[in-house]
Amino acid sequence: MDASYLPVDIQLLQPDLDKPFRLYLLVGDCFVPYSRQGEGFTEEIRRRLLREGVRTLHIRQEEKQALRTYLNRNLQALLLDDSLTQQEKSRIVYDTCIYQIETLWEAPEARQIQESKDIFRQTVDHVVSSNRDAVRHMILMISHDTSIYTHSVNVGLLGTNLAREIFRDSDRDLHEIGYAMFLHDIGKTKIEGRVLNKPGRLSRSEWEIMKGHPEKGHALLAEEGHLTREASITTLQHHERCNGEGYPRGLKGGEIDELGKICNLVDSYDALLAGRVYKPSLSPYQALKIMKEEMQDHFDRQMFKEFLYMLY
């Protein structure tokens, strides 16, 4: 497929709102103009496309930022759209978060962090308003790959959902927790590309560089004025293990905050499901089996039980 075009799920397009980008339909190997910039996208058009088996339109790569801005402005309207199912809304939330994380990684600055926080707040609202069946569908919907964007969103959603279960009888602020979970890896924006994107195993010296990302993330959020208590914990503690063998500080057991334990658990789960050149991807069952049998001292035992309950 032509890399100069970007696919867009038609469920992400709010009916009757002008689009700040031009839409294209893929016909065979050709991209055919479907609508001009500024034209609306009606519910009737969407239904017709769905009847014809078309779920995706395209925009040109250079209009990607216009798409992101459009999605950010209209996410709330999409989530209030009664014509969309809960599952469709979950997909919209997921895709919008992916776009937002990608934008943030390109420019991890105060304005982008604040914009991201607004999106994550709406995402948490969607999680909180979803029943248990909808949450499980949301979890099954997420993809697991080596992309840092996908991983950040997966940890954000899984971590927010698990925190919802762990803190169900408390007054903990899930908005702040969700924000922290989504940004747990933001320190990786300060890691050299040759290390961060290396396809094979890291050398010892490269691994030492990679292990610096928790403290780099903490420092970045502090410098940009967005270091909340929750974000401070998750950036610094998401690689700490209950057995004391984690990093950067080698904390163990009760020295690790509950948020750090939650983030480490879901981060580990998603990492096991994502394949690498040197490591095949695992099924959820395989990942959980390894976590239970080979990594059990990494995690809080009761929290792991809550995680299993959330998944199944």
pLDDT digits (tens, 9 = 90+) for 263-302: 999 999 999 998 775 678 899 999 999 999 999 999 999 9
Please determine, for residue 240, whether its predicted confidence score (pLDDT) is greater than 60.
yes
| Residue 61 · residue 3 · CB < 8 Å | yes
Which pLDDT score, from 0 to 100, does residue 272 have? 93
| Residue 105 · residue 81 · CB < 8 Å | no
- The whole-angstrom separation of Cα 5 and Cα 59 is 6
Give the range among 53-57, 132-136, 187-191, 274-278 with minimum mean pLDDT. 274-278
Please determine, for residue 14, whether its predicted confidence score (pLDDT) is greater than 80.
no
Which pLDDT score, from 0 to 100, does residue 64 have? 84
pLDDT digits (tens, 9 = 90+) for 77-126: 888 888 788 888 888 899 889 989 988 998 999 999 998 999 999 999 99
Which pLDDT score, from 0 to 100, does residue 141 have? 83
Please determine, for residue 181, whether its predicted confidence score (pLDDT) is greater than 90.
yes
Number of Cβ within a 10 Å radius of residue 311: 16
Q: Predicted confidence band at 17 (pLDDT cuts at 50, 70, 90)?
A: low
Please determine, for residue 159, whether its predicted confidence score (pLDDT) is greater than 90.
yes
Instruction: Give the pTM.
Output: 0.89
The residue with greater pLDDT, 282 or 2, is 282
- The whole-angstrom separation of Cα 261 and Cα 248 is 14
Cα(first)–Cα(last) distance of the chain, in Å?
37
The residue with greater pLDDT, 14 or 277, is 14
Which pLDDT score, from 0 to 100, does residue 16 have? 65
Instruction: Provide the mean pLDDT of the chain.
Output: 90
What superfamily in CATH does domain 85-311 come from? Answer: Hypothetical protein af1432 (1.10.3210.10)
In angstroms, the Cα distances linking 288 to 104, 211, 253, 295 are 31, 24, 21, 10
Q: Predicted confidence band at 12 (pLDDT cuts at 50, 70, 90)?
A: confident
Please determine, for residue 38, whether its predicted confidence score (pLDDT) is greater than 70.
no
Q: Where are the domains of the chain?
A: 1-63, 85-311
Q: For residue 44, with 0-12 CB atoms within 10 Å meaning exposed, 13-18 middle and 19 or more buried, which class applies? A: exposed
Which pLDDT score, from 0 to 100, does residue 88 have? 84
Percent of the chain exceeding pLDDT 70 equals 96
199 contact partners, CB below 8 Å, separation of at least 6: 276, 277
Q: Predicted confidence band at 36 (pLDDT cuts at 50, 70, 90)?
A: low
> Over the range 142-157, which residues count as b (16 or more CB within 10 Å of their CB) and which as e?
bebeeebbbbbbbbbb
Averaged pLDDT, 169-190:
96
